[in-house]
A and B are shown apart, each in its own frame.
Chain A
């Protein structure tokens, strides 16, 4: 992880000297993660792709404003987060993510694959809780990095994450004991 951060910092210094290919290399390292992060926020591959492109473009335009190149990841996710929320506000000023989440919900209670159950359970979280889970569980950020991405204190981040996990634990309890135990006999 440290080695990767050093390499990113090296690429960023080259980008700052005008090396566009260095930025393309940086993009290739992060594009899949950023796309999946935005996909889990928006539930729309098209939106996620457009937002990813916008986020990378803004990051390129503002890369000189990045104080600590070792913190490129959280900084990039912060841009992606802002892009996503800007889109939600533009489309639905009042309800934003909440309606988007209910639209993609599969009907609960059906016998479904575990991944579908997880999708349904995630969709029933509120947007802040869902984003906290995505950043921690899927993207592997530390709490201070999550706080940087979300623009809130670490205590708020932890509160959102742990509340979400309690809810997910309840939602997925009957299923994860069956499916995960079946998938992982150890």
Chain B
């Protein structure tokens, strides 16, 4: 490969990491990580989910302390005990999930925690003047008196960036900043970043979206399984080469698809839609069917209606239009419980929010979603013994690393929690499995195991609706592939033929615009 620059240029790096290691129970999150970010560059860090990017950034931002290794800022060794120390050293972080107070104004949010004071009182005019100067300097027009709740996602992100700059950051860490943005907002973000770069701000950009990385970054560091693999010049690699570096020697082989797809439709959705506030359609005109033995994928940039679609299918959200049929029966008016007990399995996108009772033991978690059905309950009376037996089966078959079924769910690692949920749903023998981002935030080993289990369940005749933003996952697993954009299914593609680039262009709306529907 050309353009590999393992040799660092002469300038003192703005940030340098040497031999960083970090272990969690059962997982090595970072191992011998070496990274040099030069002043004034946009440096992307790429890797698969679970490759250790986020851990690395948390270490750099003082949220976690490394077990070994050294951090240098502008050549000086530092030891951050908390984000405060990192901020003091001029490092700021823009989180993937915004940390803003929605009922406060832009100005209030920006100064929150770093308020300029005069005679003990808040000096609003000083704050306003500084924010104004900053916004003008960085060409980020924002009305400082609007409440954050009234801003779009892209604008909220800009507030986050201003917040960090306001605290004097010269190094900006952005954690998956484009995951929640629509394409125009991505363009706007990149324009802001280029502006910042021109003013000498150093930017570390974490992502797994390779085309975006190549569009904005000067150099790219690739992480794999907790290690830094190499650093390359963005101008001299292709997305394909980067992908190869990310997954190592074995690229996800276009898995020989022996088709098990039957022609019995398990899920049939017609004209499904739901309105949000202000009568705007969040999801509209969804026609979709999933047959037994088939994985139907729904690809899309997050926030394009996938979450709402899942809620509609589960009955957590009221359908304003259309019908849902499960196994031939119209379930549109059914409550969630009836749908779940009729055979809707669900792997939620956020296992802590929707998938687990963290403080409850594993065996109680395995009942969740089927607590009213055989074998876990009989005429409303629980049968803990059956639940414990099933839990042992899940632990055994899905390789959940735990000393037993009595442990509380919060004691398990993320990957093991996810395997528990996967096992619970699959051994519950559903007719349809709705899997939303099933491998998000799990380590590489668990990811492979979960993919394998989904394939096996499919081969055994299960209908699977897979929702994901991970291109490799969705192309690699799906038998049929839909693309969701702005609340609609805008394209149906053949996963055997489609490339990540083509799929990406549909996901961002560059192709297959609405109107075809």
Do chains A and B interact in one complex?
no
